């Protein structure tokens, strides 16, 4: 489980349980690698700019493309997938190497988290449809967890900023010391 809290006008803190950050890093890196493989197959011959040679066949990519733009053609694919790659990089840059505290210092980073985790959930759901029942069951648990992370982040990052009592700031600093 994760707990998000807003501190001041822009800072959103997330506290993950042990192991969750590592798993999330693994999932996000896997999705980024999938996108990189797709981008590696782009060709610049026809238009002078990177462009997919054929429609995406991977069910995870097709699910993301369908969700982001119904009826997306391969002409529009880079416009959908490149911002996702940027969001994945932003999220991976904020994940700590050790510990479970995540600091989001701007609304843009919170939006990147929402985009990346939502598309990760869509991709995992698409893969689960083709998996054996045991894998599908585990994937459903993970996709529900991702949905709750996004829902609670969205609720926290969009709420009005409140005055932060000094005791809370001190507590956060103690937690940082513990996790680092």
Q: Is this model's pTM higher than 0.85 or not?
A: no
**Which pLDDT does position 71 carry in this prediction?**
66
Using DSSP bridges, classify how beta strands 101-104 and 51-52 pair: parallel, antiparallel or unpaired.
Answer: unpaired
Say what the pLDDT of residue 154 is: 92
pLDDT at 4: 92
What pLDDT shows up at residue 18? 80
Residues 38, 81 contacting (CB under 8 angstroms): yes
pLDDT of residue 73: 66
Residues (pLDDT < 50) of the chain are none
What is the per-residue burial (b if ≥16 Cβ within 10 Å, else e) of 59-94? ebbebbbebbeeebeeeebbebbeebbebbebbeeb
Strands 42-43 and 2-7 come out as unpaired
Q: What pLDDT is recorded for position 53?
A: 74
């Amino acid at each position: 489980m994760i707990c998000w809290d807003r501190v001041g006008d822009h800072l959103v803190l997330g506290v993950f349980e042990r192991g969750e950050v590592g798993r999330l890093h693994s999932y996000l890196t896997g999705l980024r690698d999938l996108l990189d493989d797709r981008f590696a197959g782009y060709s610049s011959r026809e238009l002078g700019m990177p462009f997919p040679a054929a429609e995406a066949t991977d069910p995870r990519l097709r699910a993301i493309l369908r969700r982001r733009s119904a009826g997306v053609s391969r002409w529009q694919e880079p416009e959908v997938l490149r911002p996702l790659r940027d969001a994945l990089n932003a999220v991976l840059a904020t994940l700590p190497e050790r510990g479970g505290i995540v600091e989001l210092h701007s609304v843009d980073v919170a939006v990147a988290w929402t985009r990346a985790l939502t598309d990760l959930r869509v991709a995992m759901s698409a893969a689960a449809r083709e998996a054996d029942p045991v894998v599908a069951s585990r994937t459903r648990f993970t996709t529900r967890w991702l949905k709750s992370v996004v829902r609670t982040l969205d609720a926290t990052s969009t709420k009005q900023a409140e005055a932060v009592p000094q005791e809370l700031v001190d507590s956060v600093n103690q937690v940082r010391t513990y996790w680092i």
